[in-house]
Amino acid sequence: RRARVGGGGCRHLAWCGWPTSPPVWGPLRFGEPILARALSCPTFTVVRLEPEVDEAVLQLCAQVTDEPPGRISLGTPLADLAPDSLAYAELAVALDERFGIRLADTDLGAFRTVADLAATVRAEMRADRPRIPAGTGKYQQAGKALAGWFIRLYCRMKVRGSEHVPAAGPVIIAANHRSMWDVPIHVIACPRPVTFMAKKELFKGPILSWAWRVLGGFPVRREISDIRAIDTGLAVLERGEVLGLYPEGRRSLSGEMLPFLKGAAWIALRMGVTIVPCGLKGTGRRPPGGKPLIGKRVEVNFGPPLSIEREDDPAVRKEKAEALTAQLLAAITALTL
């Protein structure tokens, strides 16, 4: 359906989806942005708007970055507004909430200016793909039943504090990361099914991709701001499930705790969900001449949960993510001693 607003020789065209039920709009007032009216009507999907979208994107950029609106224009370099992955994530979430547009498949480097971002918003609609890949975790419990007992014996696994994992509801389990053993041990020790983030390099070819997916994994591209992975993690929590994260972002081959990234804290603050710290011991690489994993004792220690309140203000959320990340690092470090 095409709607026209404005008067005289100036007409703005807005393309809208067909309504699923009769819209309750009332008369349009002269000069009223159709974007605000269309977005207030849940039975329509806005597909294409021109100057209204540009103005709304500029307003969102100012809101998310806490910059005065007059200092941001369509020519402003996006790198100045979103210098890191979390700032970009904040902007992507704001665009999702405002327009229903997901930037999950687009790299930050694809946008040089605010104008590029606005053009993408105008051109793209929310993708019809599932936010969580189909079949994710489908065979995790079967695999756990078949191989869990063997891995427990092989690693002489001991689990403490599993009662700290809430029996229901969304929760993040954040653990340290020392080897590829961490993922299966993490899943086996947890009393609930876990959907976990894993580096994209593990999803090589159709067979490995299928195997990781049905066992509960979804890929993250570590070299870029991977909004798709963040979006999948948010969707897992929205379904009331368990999300497994490794805040170090990569394995610590030395056994020393690496600096934590702020992603786990940001997601917890964005959703207002509990974080359960988890310390894994005995999964690291053996030193030269040391014992292999077999014969060693692997320990999984779940700590008391950290109750997190949802924070909707992007600037405040960024500040709180710093403090929460430090708190999480201290909690997980204590569980690995």
User: Is 175 domain-assigned?
Assistant: yes
pLDDT, tens digit only, all 337 positions of the chain: 333 333 333 333 333 333 333 334 344 443 444 334 433 443 333 333 445 667 778 888 888 888 887 788 888 888 888 777 788 788 888 877 766 666 655 555 677 888 888 887 777 644 456 789 999 999 999 999 999 999 999 889 999 999 999 999 999 999 999 888 899 999 999 999 999 999 889 999 999 999 999 999 999 887 666 777 888 999 999 999 999 999 998 888 877 889 999 999 999 999 999 999 999 998 876 655 555 555 578 999 999 999 999 998 888 998 999 999 999 999 999 999 8
Q: Are residues 299 and 163 in the same domain?
A: yes
Same domain, 28 and 160: no
In this structure, the answer to whether residues 106 and 148 fall within a common structural domain is no
Q: Is the domain of 116 the same as that of 17?
A: yes
Please check whether residues 164 and 68 belong to one and the same domain. Answer: no
Judge whether 19 lies within some domain.
yes
Q: Does 177 fall in a domain? A: yes
Domain region containing 297: 140-335
> Would 251 be classed as within a structural domain?
yes
**Domain containing 83 — which CATH number?**
1.10.1200.10
CATH number for the domain harbouring residue 324: 3.40.1130.10
Same domain, 242 and 322: yes
Within-domain flag for 213: yes
Q: Which of 309, 266, 299, 291 is nearest to 84 (CA)?
A: 266
Edge-to-edge strand ranges of the sheet holding 2-5: 2-5, 12-16, 46-48
CA dihedral angle for residue 210, residue 216, residue 219, residue 225, rounded to 10 degrees: 160
Strands (E), the chain: 2-5, 12-16, 46-48, 158-160, 171-175, 194-199, 217-220, 242-245, 274-281, 299-302
Is 0.85 topped by the overall pTM? no
Q: How many domains does the chain have?
A: 2
* Residue 40 falls inside a structural domain: yes
Residue 128 is encoded by which pair of tokens? 């019809």
Q: Are residues 327 and 236 in the same domain?
A: yes
In a domain, 259, yes or no: yes
